[in-house]
Structure formats: C-alpha cells, structure tokens
C-alpha cells in the first residue's frame, strides 16, 4: 500500500465527507499515480422515474458550471454506460477520449460533451462503472481517471499500473458520498444550522430536552424551537425520525 493510499483510507475513517479532507487526500492519491484528473459520479433512483446525480471532480469549476447549466449529464458518455450494468454485470471498464466523439454510434450532443471535457483536462481517460451489490439497490457509481495531454496508451498504462489501488480507493469512497446524495434525492435541500445539528446530536445521545438546554446553556423553549426547525427541514414527523435522518445523511 502506497503512503498516499494509506493517508486516504485514514482520512475516510476519521473525517466527514463534507469537511473536504477526504477529497483532498483522494486528489493527492490520484496525482501520485501520475494522473491529472478524476471524476467521481454517483446516481441514485429509478432511471425511468428520476435520478439524482452527485459529481466530485478535480476538473475546473468553469467546466462543471457549463456541465450543469447545459444539462450535460443526460448526454454524458460515461453515464450512458451505466445502462449496461446489471446483476450479472456489476462492473464495467471503458476507455474513452476526445476521439470517441467521432464514432458513428456517438450522438452529436454526446460528442459535444466529450470534446468539452477534453478541453477541460480529460483528453484520454478510463472509467470504472459499477452498481450497488443488491439487485434492489438503485445506485450506480463511476470513477474516471485521465490526463490532459498524454496519449491514450500512456494514460491506460498509468491507470493499469495502479488499477487495484484506484479501484480500492474509489469504491471505498462512494459510501462517504452516498449520504449527501440520498439527502438530495429525498428532496432535503435546506441546511441545518449548527445549533440544530447540536440539538439533534444530543437527542441521538439519549438526552432529554431539559438536559440538552442545560448542556448548551439555552432555554428549553429554544431547544424546542431548534427541534421543530430541524424536523421541518428534514421532513420528519417526529423528533426520533429527524434524528434518524440526521444520522443517515451524515449530518451529525
């Protein structure tokens, strides 16, 4: 195990995804493999009804703003590969690059996305796509690695030299990304305040409202107010449900 991978796995074990520590360690790990960029994508939900997609990447913010504004996700070449996954085919490996846009089976809009991501830094890349282990688990994952100027063969050689480590690191990272994705998929978009997080964390410890008020140095009425606001934001009917959702979505 390389020192960079060891640091990454250590960060996964001790930090929260929203703190940014994990993605910083992941970026360092990818760069240590001689690769310029990565894209981590995760989708959850029924493709025929509506999916929610989360993307973490080292590519420039300007490209991701364009990607979101033009709804490129529906025409993303890697996302399209997810349709080929199934219980009997849980993992796929796909090499692609700017030249893929010229293939006759690739639509003009998908070609536009391929050329755009090449300009952003992924001229040649390799993607690993997979899905949840359970047949009923409607979750799909994709980890893409590549370089801006290196040729196709050089990029593939670098990735294959570190293939096992890249797979271990990427698929270990997806559980860290999933809580935020599930939260968005459930339609929970309003952030909790630090006080609301503190109150729910103490409820999760089994403390009563009066004890929480004493610990936090506030009135019980204020504790009740934070509880009501947290329940509303988390779309929970009870405080117990709000606390359970806060744990599930990695908020406390």
Query: Can you give the pLDDT of all 252 residues of the chain as single tens digits?
Result: 788 888 888 888 887 666 678 888 899 999 999 999 999 988 887 766 677 888 889 999 999 999 999 999 889 999 888 888 877 888 899 999 999 999 999 999 999 999 999 999 999 999 999 887 655 567 888 999 999 878 889 999 999 999 999 998 988 888 888 888 889 888 998 999 999 999 999 999 999 999 999 999 999 999 999 999 999 999 999 999 999 999 999 898
CA–CA dist 100, 235 (Å, integer): 44
Residue 200 to residue 197: CA distance in whole angstroms? 5
Q: Distance (Å, rounded) from C-alpha 229 to C-alpha 40?
A: 33
Q: What is the rounded CA–CA span in Å between residue 251 and residue 192?
A: 8
Q: How many residues does the chain have?
A: 252
Same fold, 3-177 and 194-248: no
Distance CA 138, CA 12 (A): 23
Distance CA 148, CA 225 (A): 52
- Residues 194-248, CATH architecture: Orthogonal Bundle (1.10)
**SS3 label, residue 44:** strand
**pTM score, whole prediction:** 0.80
Reduced to 3 states (helix: H, G, I; strand: E, B; else coil), residue 20 is: coil
CATH of segment(s) 3-177: 3.30.450.80
192: its two tokens: 């909790």
Task: Name the residue ranges covered by the structural domains of the chain.
Answer: 3-177, 194-248
């Amino acid at each position: 195990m390389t020192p960079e991978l060891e640091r990454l796995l250590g960060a996964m074990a001790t930090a929260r995804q929203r703190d940014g520590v994990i993605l910083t360690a992941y970026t360092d790990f990818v760069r240590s493999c001689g690769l310029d960029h990565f894209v981590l994508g995760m989708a959850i939900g029924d493709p025929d009804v509506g999916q929610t997609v989360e993307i973490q990447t080292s590519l420039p913010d300007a490209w991701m703003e364009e990607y979101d504004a033009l709804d490129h996700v529906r025409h993303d070449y890697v996302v399209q590969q997810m349709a080929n996954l199934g219980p009997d085919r849980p993992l796929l490996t796909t090499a692609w690059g700017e030249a893929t846009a010229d293939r006759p089976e690739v639509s003009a809009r998908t070609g536009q996305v391929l050329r755009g991501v090449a300009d952003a830094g992924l001229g040649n890349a390799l993607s690993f796509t997979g899905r949840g282990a359970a047949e009923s688990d409607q979750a799909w994952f994709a980890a893409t690695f590549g370089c801006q100027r290196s040729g196709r063969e050089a990029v593939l050689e670098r990735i294959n030299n570190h293939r096992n480590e890249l797979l271990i690191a990427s698929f270990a990272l997806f559980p860290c990304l999933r809580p935020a994705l599930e939260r968005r998929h459930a339609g929970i978009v309003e952030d909790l305040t630090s006080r609301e997080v503190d109150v729910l964390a103490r409820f999760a410890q089994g403390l009563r409202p009066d004890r929480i008020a004493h610990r936090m140095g506030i009135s019980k009425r204020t504790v009740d107010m934070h509880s009501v606001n947290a329940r509303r934001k988390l779309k929970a009917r009870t405080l117990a449900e709000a606390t359970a959702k806060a744990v599930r979505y990695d908020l406390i």
